[in-house]
Amino acid sequence: MTTRLMLARSLAGVAIGAWALLAGPAGAQTIPQTPAEVARPGGMLPGDPKIALVKVADGFNDPVGVASAFDGSGRLFVVERVGRVKIVDRDGSVQAEPFLDLTKSNPLGTEVQTVFVEQGLWAIAFHPKFKENGYVFASFASVPFNGANLIVRFTVDPASPNQITSEQLNKSAKVIMNIPQPYYNHYGGKILFGPDGYLYVGKGDAGWEGDPLDAGQNLGKLWGKMLRINVDSHGAYAIPKDNPFVVASQDRMMSLFGITEEGFSKIKLGLRPEIWAYGLRNPWQFAFDQKTGDLWIGDVGQNHWEEIDWQPRSSRGGENYGWKHNQASHCHPTLSANDKCAIVGVLPVAEYPHQEPYPGAPRLKDGWGCSVTGLGVANYAGMTGVFIAGDWCSGRVWGVGWDKANDKWQMQELLHTALQFTGGNYDEDGSILAVNCYCFYTDDKGATNNPPGALWRIVAADQVPAGAETAKTRSR
Amino acid sequence: MRQRARPRSTATYVGRLLLPVTIIVVASATASGAGIQFRSAFDDSPLDVSPKAGETLSPAVQIFHQTGRNPYRDDDQAIAGGKRLYMMWCQGCHNPDANGRIGPSLIGDSYLYDRVATDVGMFEIIYGGAAGAMQSFKPRMSQDEMLRIIAYVRSLKQSAAAR
């Protein structure tokens, strides 16, 4: 582990510079090189956009995700933590029968572990060629595998487009990944197809607090990572040949002499080649910019700071986002207002504090949250490439974007709602969808007994349809 | 309501004797339309504090609705019950000592919402919810239980101040 740490640190110094150069032409986004360049609340996005949340549908049990099949049907698929997916039709009506129901397909009981509020069915993702192949992927905590994170592919029968029956579910199920989980929190959960056609899997550091397994920095583990796999292969999955650690992790003939030190430093046996990026605590929700292909990750922080990471489409992966040495641009553990520590790896582009930014700090009244839920990247409503994130604890909605005129990242509080945001994704027209639940830890009565959650669409504030219900907001 | 063979303190004993008398006074006040207008901490919209289906408003809640005074404030038995409820519903976010962690402090010098300085304000948040993870606890508990929790939390602040 020490060797890997040293390797990671030595590479980090080189890498920070390299990733800064990736950004492109002058005026384009750059990765912050110092904490001072990381955006915090209080900024203003170009154009000072105004948004509203319009309710699309409600009555869901603990909704934690949403997805479109991008098949032209206009259907929206809302993921219920208990293990069901409900279809919302274009007119906003919710179909009575679930599209997918993992609670009834196993005669011995539900497939989905929901005992703890962070457990359940978290996400579905439709294959980029769903219209032809009918493949849909689900990520959930498994009962039979004692809480392990299963990613399973199911095939929709074209004769039954709105419902995968139990029979079809079991017949077509192909397990893509089965990742054990030692603790009941910090699973990650979101899965998304990237613009490159690969499946990206966000994995939390496997839980408890403080990353006791040192998972974030451990390149031999899948926890604490963003993974990238090719699901269009004969086996469960294949490793994309341009994943950052493919070559480094390959076994090879041993050569004791005749290789440079630089050459030796590129050999990293035992690394998991599925890894795209590491040093993440709990990348619960992440999103690709549909226009540029850039990747945004909302990495949930611990006691003091929430982190929003960005990488351009041109990234070759391998970024270390610093957990557990850093939490956003700060030291972990955070001890005081004046902590000193090395910045490990790549800084986030934006961060926001909890109510108490360091132990004993004056408590903030505004501009704080405690759990970032990435929703999507807005390329409408007066915004270009603005990452929208809701906060699970405070109900705030943030926008993070590049301010070309001032050559810096900006973070602006767009709304303060009363909602507990759990997830987000895109509709077919590129508008950002969000779901909320009433399922906080000590409030949890179980995945079907909490007050119902809803599905919302982010629109420009002056584009709210007449008579539409919008989320309550309070002025800042 | 649980009854004890011997009240803990004289104040509680006397308080219980006075309760029925107070209710008669309060009932006549109700008839005249007086009372507190409770408002949401999120957007100040009016809160409807009529009992939910199957709930009967306790005498303490009725007094509270009328006067804004929480009769459980110095009631040791109510405070003990409030502690049990607090530990079940609140400590996960607000910490066992109520000084906050995920959720804000309930005993500090300044509160996230200024209204928390009064029992009416604290009630408005528990009953009506605030934002994000602090949702309304109306589905979870009775208004009487909320007053007990408030009484317990206030007793923590007094203990903290006494030290």
Question: What ipTM was assigned to the predicted interfaces of this complex?
Answer: 0.84
Query: Do B132 and A396 count as a contact with CB atoms less than 8 A apart?
Result: yes
Could you tell me if A370 lies within 8 Å of chain B, comparing CB atoms? yes
To the nearest whole Å, the CA of B4 is away from the closest chain A CA by 30
How far apart CA A329 and CA A325 sit, in angstroms, is 10
How far apart CA B140 and CA B111 sit, in angstroms, is 24
How far apart CA A58 and CA A86 sit, in angstroms, is 11
Contact A287/A358 with Cβ under 8 angstroms? Answer: no
Reported as a pLDDT band with limits 50, 70 and 90, residue A3 is very low
Strands A174-179 vs A149-155: parallel, antiparallel or unpaired: antiparallel
Residue B156 has phi, psi (to 5 degrees) of -70, -40
Tell me which residues of chain B have a C-beta less than 8 Å from any C-beta of chain A: 42-43, 88-93, 100-105, 108, 110, 112, 129-133, 135, 137, 139-140
Strands A121-126 vs A135-141: parallel, antiparallel or unpaired: antiparallel
Query: Do B100 and A419 count as a contact with CB atoms less than 8 A apart?
Result: no
The pLDDT value given to residue A258: 78
The pLDDT value given to residue A445: 76
In single-letter form, the type of residue at position A428 comes to: E
To the nearest whole Å, the CA of A254 is away from the closest chain B CA by 52
Reported as a pLDDT band with limits 50, 70 and 90, residue A444 is confident
More confident residue, B18 or B47: B47
Least confident residue range of A4-13, A27-36, A185-194: A4-13
C-beta atoms surrounding A252 within 10 Å = 8
Task: For residue A249, give the H/E element and its range.
Answer: helix A246-249
SS3 content of chain B, % helix, strand, coil (to 5): 50, 0, 50
Reported as a pLDDT band with limits 50, 70 and 90, residue B31 is very low
Could you tell me if A130 lies within 8 Å of chain B, comparing CB atoms? no
Reply yes or no on whether the pLDDT at B30 is more than 50.
no
How far apart CA B106 and CA A152 sit, in angstroms, is 45
Please report residues of A whose CB lies closer than 8 A to that of B105. Answer: 363
Residue A63 has phi, psi (to 5 degrees) of -70, 135
Region of residue A228 (phi > 0: left; psi between -120 and 50: alpha; otherwise: beta): beta
How far apart CA A454 and CA A434 sit, in angstroms, is 8
Reply yes or no on whether the pLDDT at A323 is more than 60.
yes
How far apart CA A416 and CA B112 sit, in angstroms, is 14
Query: Do A474 and B139 count as a contact with CB atoms less than 8 A apart?
Result: no
How far apart CA A195 and CA A128 sit, in angstroms, is 9
A253-267 per-position pLDDT tens digit = 888 777 899 988 888
Please report residues of B whose CB lies closer than 8 A to that of A473. Answer: 43
How far apart CA A152 and CA A142 sit, in angstroms, is 11
Please report residues of A whose CB lies closer than 8 A to that of B132. Answer: 369, 391-396, 418-421
Query: Do B102 and A370 count as a contact with CB atoms less than 8 A apart?
Result: yes
Query: Do A474 and B131 count as a contact with CB atoms less than 8 A apart?
Result: yes
Query: Do A418 and B132 count as a contact with CB atoms less than 8 A apart?
Result: yes
Contact A166/A250 with Cβ under 8 angstroms? Answer: no
Inter-chain Cβ pairs, chain A and chain B, closer than 8 A? 70
Reported as a pLDDT band with limits 50, 70 and 90, residue A285 is very high
Please report residues of B whose CB lies closer than 8 A to that of A442. Answer: 88-93
Could you tell me if A301 lies within 8 Å of chain B, comparing CB atoms? no
Least confident residue range of A250-259, A328-337, A463-472: A250-259
Residue B125 has phi, psi (to 5 degrees) of -80, -45
Reported as a pLDDT band with limits 50, 70 and 90, residue A8 is very low
B55-80 per-position pLDDT tens digit = 999 999 999 999 999 999 999 999 99
